[in-house]
Chain A
């Protein structure tokens, strides 16, 4: 009963915060809303702390467990420290994005702590004596990400970075940098779990930095340079097709090609979807999305039917055995989806309550984390996460930036985060897409993904602040 009450309290707090941020007309900003932010943070810390204590009481209470608890619990004082810095250095700007990201990240820390899983690979494992608990790495990555977020905002680093990206760098340079970084793991790293995506054991995944940072900037640069050619209602279809083909070639060479070498087919699909949305947004042509989907299905079907070396087998396994016909492959490729569907069904709609379920399964700390969230927090937990992602989108939709590049960037950042998250949910939770091995930002364990995400959300916050100031300025005139 107490577990259910604490779960209900946690869900109420995060839903109330998410709902308020999403539907509130005015942005939550400093210094105007300092008192409100403090109330919000207090409620959140009480809920977060209660859940952490609940998990501690229900677990082994060994020495290492107490240490992990101390670390997780210290997330609350850390947040207050960050708020203190923002107040001290007179930060003037919105915090909607920060608060939404906080909801997702905090839930991620809670769930990783709840799972109590660890890895023996990578730098963190060697530093921690052979066992890197995912709760600890999640906490470390999140706090690092928040620290970089706050420092970047306060120091003006994000503003300078945006200016540099817009005026001093070229589209091609971003492609070349990405290409070089993406080739590092196959050349210098080791294959882990069938993919060659990591450096230093299981520690750094360059593709996450590339996907979240350089791909988004590359796309925004490319599309902003050709904006006038492809976005006007009367602009010729020929121009659109020509530029789409150019974009496709560059993406294939700089991004998707190296991903294929790393065997990260799933990330390649999510990149494709991100590009579809960005091109559709820029050209203001909705038809690009369904045409793009049909093209993707055609490509996948081709690789399934035609025995192209390497790709045929991999695509067949991913698409047929572990998605379309998983019921017939429950003893091999379909096994993981079966476990995921079973865990979802066992929780019914409302979830079992934190610490009352049995959500452990393979990859639950990473790709299947949403299963654990829904298994214990139910549909309200799912809605809270979706609302938090919608807050990112709302900020992008409701703020117009002064230049094309900035406008595309402010939209591209949430699109890249949300499309990956929604694809993950669509494939693991509701089994309507093939599992692609892509994480859900903030929830899944992945230091590279979390840190890179916080950096880009910092950039987005800087852009939103700039847009708000311009809006205020134009009202005063």
Chain B
């Protein structure tokens, strides 16, 4: 047997050998998100697996000549992305997964090439196409989630482009003023009245006065905030009614009195990943309470919020492939139910009443929003319609959605209404997954 000195050497190298093999296997299995970057030239060289939707319809594949083909072209350009001229979208987020050796764990000789290991996403191609057509020539975004899991079903962004022709159009696209390469689902916009959902959520925990009389304006310092018209005495003075008619005065006055600033900021940070200021004045806070001043959010953020409202209060990160994500409890079930009722009221008799026919098919709730911004010296609107729907009759999972149309002269209800109509029509008539 070995003496002590030999034992030391033997066990030192044995330990090193085991560590090498162990860490090698661990590194392969665990992956590393830092590798998903356009700087990673390895990913540019490797052949890529196909990307498919939840029903195995192909979104992207590599042909025999090694060229990447995007079957949905403009309809899914931003969400699927591209892998030439750098990388974007799912091509970037799952770059390492798309270039990993397929199915080689057991069948070394019969791995069948890259096609045997497609990336299965949560998108729905048919729904995606429908929303792409519905958004039409408007600039904006449509996002739809599975409200229970926050799986992304639709992610449409306009203006769009054809990723199959990027070699010819890259120069023009990269200099285009409207940014067709950018996915507006992640763009940050003033959420306007849709942010009242957050204010409502926080007010739900506070004790409010029995009635509220809206005079049409409310003064904070040297700034006067207006409602579209004086709402008068709100029935029962509750949040439900104020939300359904989108009364600015109600939310500003009650928000300033009842919600501490840091509580509002903490809740806002959970939903939007934007940088929020630490110090601000009362005037700015008043604006933030109704989704103006320093508050910005993306269609993805708003869809997450609506998902939390319909699923009972759980906020999750959006995902494009089935995986477990940590969830955060944004609100309790009672508050979620109250917000559901309030958003339902908006369809019954509020700003979204044109969509009231869907209440016969199942549960639905909407909140509209219109933010005004100066664009090239002209006042233009960023219009929102966010909400949820659940097909109770067929016991299908609920969805949450956010529709944004930018740079228009109309309101959220007028501009986004037809798109949401199309969306709900598709959802309630859809028979598949």
Q: Which residues of A contact B (CB under 8 A)?
A: 1, 4-5, 8, 231, 277, 280-284, 286, 289, 326-327, 330-331, 335, 338-339, 341-352, 358, 360-361, 374, 379, 382-383, 386, 390, 393, 396-397, 411, 415, 418, 422, 425-426, 429-432
B contact residues around A360 at 8 Å (CB): 45
The reply to whether B105 and A348 contact each other, CB–CB distance below 8 Å, is: yes
> Considering the chains assembled together, what is the distance between the CA atoms of A233 and B4 in angstroms?
10
Residues of B within 8 A of A425 (CB): 20
Contact of A1 among B17, B39, B101, B109 (CB under 8 A): B109
Assess whether A331 is in contact with B39, with CB atoms less than 8 Å apart: yes
Whether the pair B96, A345 counts as a contact (CB closer than 8 A) is: yes
Do residues A350 and B108 form an inter-chain contact, with CB atoms below 8 A? Answer: yes
Choose one: A284, A330, A429, A431; the contact of B5 (CB below 8 Å): A284
Asked if B6 is at the interface (CB within 8 A of a chain A CB), the reply is yes
Given contacts A338-B40, A346-B101, 10 further A-B contacts (CB under 8 A): A8-B109, A277-B9, A326-B34, A341-B27, A342-B35, A346-B96, A397-B9, A422-B17, A426-B19, A429-B20
Q: Are A344 and B108 in contact (CB under 8 A)?
A: no
Query: Which A residues touch B8, using CB under 8 A?
Result: 277, 280-281, 284, 286, 289
Q: Which 9 interchain pairs have the tightest Cβ spacing?
A: A327-B34, A348-B101, A342-B42, A430-B23, A284-B4, A358-B45, A281-B5, A284-B5, A342-B35
Q: Which residues of A contact B42 (CB under 8 A)?
A: 339, 342-343, 346, 358, 361
Checking B3, B12, B41, B100 against A345 with a beta-carbon cut-off of 8 angstroms, the contacting residue is B100
Contact (Cβ within 8 A) A348 B13: no
B37 contact set on A, CB distance < 8 A: 330, 338
Contacts A330-B39, A339-B40, A411-B9; A4 near B4 (Cβ below 8 A): no
The one of B12, B21, B34, B109 in contact with A379, judged by C-beta atoms closer than 8 angstroms, is B21
Q: Smallest Cβ distance from A420 to chain B, in angstroms?
A: 12
Indicate whether B28 reaches chain A with its CB closer than 8 angstroms. Answer: yes
- Chain A residue with minimal CB distance to B6? A397
Across the interface, A397 reaches (CB within 8 A) one of B10, B17, B31, B45, namely B10
Chain B contact residues, majority secondary structure: helix
Q: CA separation between A41 and B37, bound complex, in Å? A: 46
Interface pair B34/A349, CB less than 8 Å apart: no
Q: Who on chain A is nearest to B25 by CB? A: A349
A350-B109 Cα distance, complex, nearest whole Å: 11
Residues of B contacting A397 in the complex (Cβ-Cβ under 8 angstroms): 2, 6, 9-10
Residues in A with CB closer than 8 Å to B43 are 342, 346
Cα–Cα distance between A435 and B46 once the two chains are bound (Å): 25
If over half of A's interface residues share one DSSP class (helix, strand or loop), that class is named, otherwise mixed; here it is: helix
10 A-B pairs, CB-CB below 8 angstroms?
A4-B109, A5-B109, A284-B5, A346-B43, A346-B96, A347-B101, A358-B46, A411-B6, A422-B20, A429-B24
Q: How far is the CA of A289 from the CA of B10 in the complex (A)?
A: 13
Pair A422/B4 contact, Cβ less than 8 Å: no
Q: How far is the CA of A396 from the CA of B101 in the complex (A)?
A: 39
CA distance A358 to B129 in the complex (A): 36
- Determine the residue in chain A with the shortest Cβ distance to B32: A341
Which residues from 372 to 403 on chain B have a C-beta closer than 8 Å to any C-beta of chain A?
A: none
A335 to chain B: which residues have CB within 8 Å? 39
Q: Counting CB contacts under 8 A, is B16 at the interface?
A: yes
Q: Which residue of A lies closest to B107 (CB)?
A: A350
A452 to chain B: closest CB distance in Å? 21
B43: nearest residue on chain A (CB-CB)?
A342
> Does B99 lie at the interface of the complex (its beta carbon under 8 Å from any beta carbon of A)?
yes
Residues of the A chain whose Cβ atoms lie less than 8 Å from the Cβ of B2: 397
Whether B100 pairs with A415 at a CB distance below 8 angstroms is no
Residues of chain B within 8 A (CB-CB) of A348 are 28, 100-101, 104-105
**Contact among A277, A281, A349, A386 with B28 in the assembled complex (CB-CB below 8 Å):** A349
Give chain B nearest CB distance to A231 CB in angstroms. 7
A345 in contact with B108 (CB, 8 Å) = no
In the complex, A396 Cα to B5 Cα: how many Å?
12
Name which residue of chain A comes closest to B95, CB basis: A342
**How far apart are B139's CB and chain A's nearest CB, in angstroms?**
32
Q: Interface 1/0s, chain B 311-330, versus A by CB < 8 A?
A: 00000000000000000000
- For B23, list chain A residues within 8 Å (CB): 430, 432
Q: Which of B9, B21, B27 contacts A393 (CB 8 A)?
A: B9
Contact B13 A393 (CB under 8 A): yes
Query: Within the complex, which residue of B25, B39, B105, B108 is in contact with A4, where a contact is CB–CB below 8 Å?
Result: B108
Are B9 and A379 touching (Cβ within 8 A)? Answer: no
In whole angstroms, what is the CA distance A331 to B86 when docked?
A: 14
Q: Which residue of B lies closest to A396 (CB)?
A: B9
Chain B residues with Cβ under 8 A from A4's Cβ? 108-109
Residue of A nearest to B24 (CB): A430
Give Cα A48 to B147, complex, Å: 58
Complex contacts, B19 vs chain A, CB 8 Å: 426, 430, 432
Query: Are B12 and A277 within 8 A (Cβ)?
Result: yes
Shortest distance from the beta carbon of A375 to any chain B beta carbon, whole Å: 9
Chain B contacts for A330, CB-based, 8 A: 34, 37, 39-40
Q: Closest chain B residue to A340 by CB distance?
A: B42
Q: Within the complex, what minimum Cβ distance (angstroms) separates B100 from chain A? A: 6
Q: Chain A residues near B109: list those with CB within 8 A.
A: 1, 4-5, 8
Using Cβ atoms and an 8 Å threshold, which residues of chain B touch A383?
A: 21
Which residue of chain A lies nearest to B2 when distances are taken between CB atoms in the complex? A397
Chain B residues positioned under 8 Å from A277 (CB to CB): 8-9, 12
A422 CA to B16 CA, complexed, in Å: 8
Bound: A284/B8 CA distance, A: 7
CB distance from B32 to the nearest CB of A (A): 6
Q: How far is the CB of A378 from chain B (nearest CB, A)?
A: 8
Closest approach, in angstroms, between the C-beta of A188 and any C-beta of chain B?
Answer: 37
Nearest to A283 among chain B residues (CB) is B5
Q: In the complex, what's the smallest C-beta–C-beta distance from A357 to chain B, in angstroms?
A: 8
Contact indicator B28/A345 (Cβ below 8 Å): yes
Complex Cα gap A374–B25 (Å)? 12
What distance in Å separates the Cβ of A173 from its nearest Cβ neighbour in chain B? 26
Find the A residue at minimum CB distance from B40. Answer: A342
User: Smallest Cβ distance from B102 to chain A, in angstroms?
Assistant: 8
Contact B20 A386 (CB under 8 A): yes
Neighbouring A residues of B4 by C-beta, 8 Å: 284
In the complex, chain B residues whose CB is within 8 Å of the CB of A326: 34
Q: Which of B67-110 contact A (CB under 8 A)?
A: 96, 99-101, 104-105, 108-109
| With known contacts A342-B42, A361-B42, A350–B9 Cβ distance under 8 A | no
Determine whether the beta carbon of B24 is less than 8 Å from that of A282.
no
Task: Report yes or no: A345 in contact with B5, Cβ–Cβ below 8 A.
Answer: no
Residues of A within 8 A of B25 (CB): 349, 379
> B48 to chain A: closest CB distance in Å?
11
Q: In the complex, A4→B389 CA distance in Å?
A: 52
Q: Do B27 and A344 have beta carbons less than 8 Å apart?
A: yes
Kindly list chain B residues whose C-beta atoms are within 8 Å of the C-beta of A418.
13
Q: What residues of chain A lie closer than 8 Å to B39, measured between beta carbons?
A: 330-331, 335, 338
Q: Which residue of chain B lies nearest to A332 when distances are taken between CB atoms in the complex?
A: B39
